[in-house]
Amino acid sequence: MKLHSIPSASLEEINNTVPVPQKNASFLKKLFAYSGPGALVAVGYMDPGNWITSIQGGALYSYLLLSVILISSLIAMLLQAMCAKLGIVTGLDLAQATKLKTGRKLSVALWLTTELAIMATEIAEVIGSAIALNLLFNIPLMLGVIITVLDVLLLLALMMGGFRKIEAFVFTLILTIFVIFGYEVILADPSMSSILGGFIPKSDIFTAQITGQDSALLIGLGIVGATVMPHNLYLHSSIVQTRRYDRNDRKSLKEAIKFATIDSNLQLGFSFIINCLLLVLGAALFFGHNPDDLGRFAQLYDALKNESIVGPIASSLLATLFAVALLASGQNATITGTLTGQIVMEGFVHMKVPMWVRRIATRLLAIIPVVICIYIWGSKGDVVEKLLVYTQVFLSLALPISMVPLLLITSSKKMMGEFVNGKITMILGWISTVALVVLNIQLIWATLAPLF
């Protein structure tokens, strides 16, 4: 049921390469075969950008922003399910499908905006990885930033082993992060009643602000940008096509959609738990302390060893585990950024370059603003990590540009046939999009108003 003829398959080198069981196989066997793309998508929801926004949100505003993580995760599940369905039904990724519906100039504009979103994500990975190297091995921050260029070797080595190897590697790192933060939160012994209360949305999200610190709204939008990431919409619509299902059989497509959606929701549920753990850790250990002493990764690392802040659970082991998880997070998300860059470049402007060229070019562009920040303000200031926070806010601002085409395309009977979005899905999708646009307008106004 391939509805469109396209020049080439999305991510052609890995498209239709992973076998799936026959129709009479067990549920678990089929689920295992289709599981993997969800992990690559979910990893974008727990990158260093999530870390800094979630931990700061907890440290500054206690459990208030847990509701933002919950709502963001539910929106993410809705959008990623649409992306999986789009890729499986049409044989197109989101960039290719959008290109079919837009003119050349608009396609280029959308491509450039998406590239900036990918660069914002890359900046977060660069900063997170460089800081982790500094904390673990005392490598100067500037040198750590430069070392991150070598990430290209990791991706190329994994690609040589096949796409399943990439999925397994990513899931292993996700599990590492989960175990570390689960352990640290258990030791922190947070208040369960306060945690449960944090999942109830409150108006304080729009008004709360600690003097001299980012507002709850700004951090909340940063959490949204770090949770519902624009590039993941393009990525998911492409990598679900790595499975070798029958493209011309209705039942096969329906089954592929079913298991891709289950895979996506399970993995995103996992990332939701990790993001909650991050915020809970920030709230349980650091809320009520001087926010100027806790706003940066290095300060959080030191605080985990400081009994006057953390209490009797403080130890070098906790701090080291924190840094290891940070490094794993940066390495994890860097893989998906490269794949997405290739998807949007080929989909929007039909430009193909070798993956290693794409990887190096993307990373070099990402390290430029970080290097400039370190050169001008030095590695001891908080400017570098402020840059990380603002990249997440930019992702939130860029998100509607990807959401709107996704909703329009998956709601088109002509494009999706019998798999078109139902009314409830359409309503929820548009409510999410409009709400995000309104919040972004409020954020811009709050940021620019003091200048006038």
Per residue in 123-158, pLDDT (tens digit) is 877 888 888 888 889 888 888 888 887 766 666 676
Q: What is the pLDDT of residue 259?
A: 96
Q: What is the pLDDT of residue 195?
A: 94
Q: What pLDDT digit, counting tens, does each position of 234-250 carry?
A: 999 999 999 999 988 99
Between 323 and 354, whose confidence is greater? 323
Domain range summary for the chain, segments of one domain joined by +:
27-129+168-290+382-447
Q: What pLDDT digit, counting tens, does each position of 322-349 carry?
A: 888 888 777 766 677 778 888 888 889 8
- Please report, rounded to a whole number, the percentage of residues in the chain having pLDDT higher than 70: 88
Whether the pLDDT of residue 218 is over 50: the answer is yes
Between 229 and 187, whose confidence is greater? 187
Q: What pLDDT digit, counting tens, does each position of 363-390 carry?
A: 777 788 888 888 777 765 566 777 776 7
Q: What is the pLDDT of residue 29?
A: 93
Query: d(Cα 110, Cα 106) in Å, to the nearest integer?
Result: 6
> What is the distance, to the nearest Å, from the Cα of residue 251 to the centroid of all Cα atoms in its chain?
31
The dihedral of CA 190, 192, 197, 198: what is its sign?
positive
Whether the pLDDT of residue 83 is over 90: the answer is yes
Between 2 and 384, whose confidence is greater? 384
Q: What is the pLDDT of residue 156?
A: 65
Q: How confident is the model at residue 74 (pLDDT cuts 50, 70, 90)?
A: very high
DSSP 245: -
Q: What is the pLDDT of residue 294?
A: 61
Q: What is the pLDDT of residue 88?
A: 96
CB distance 402 to 94 below 8 Å: yes
Query: d(Cα 121, Cα 127) in Å, to the nearest integer?
Result: 10
What is the CB neighbour count within 10 angstroms for residue 244? 14
Query: d(Cα 156, Cα 342) in Å, to the nearest integer?
Result: 14
Q: What pLDDT digit, counting tens, does each position of 94-120 carry?
A: 999 999 888 888 888 888 888 888 888
Q: What is the pLDDT of residue 2?
A: 41
Whether the pLDDT of residue 5 is over 50: the answer is no
Tell me if the pTM is above 0.75: yes
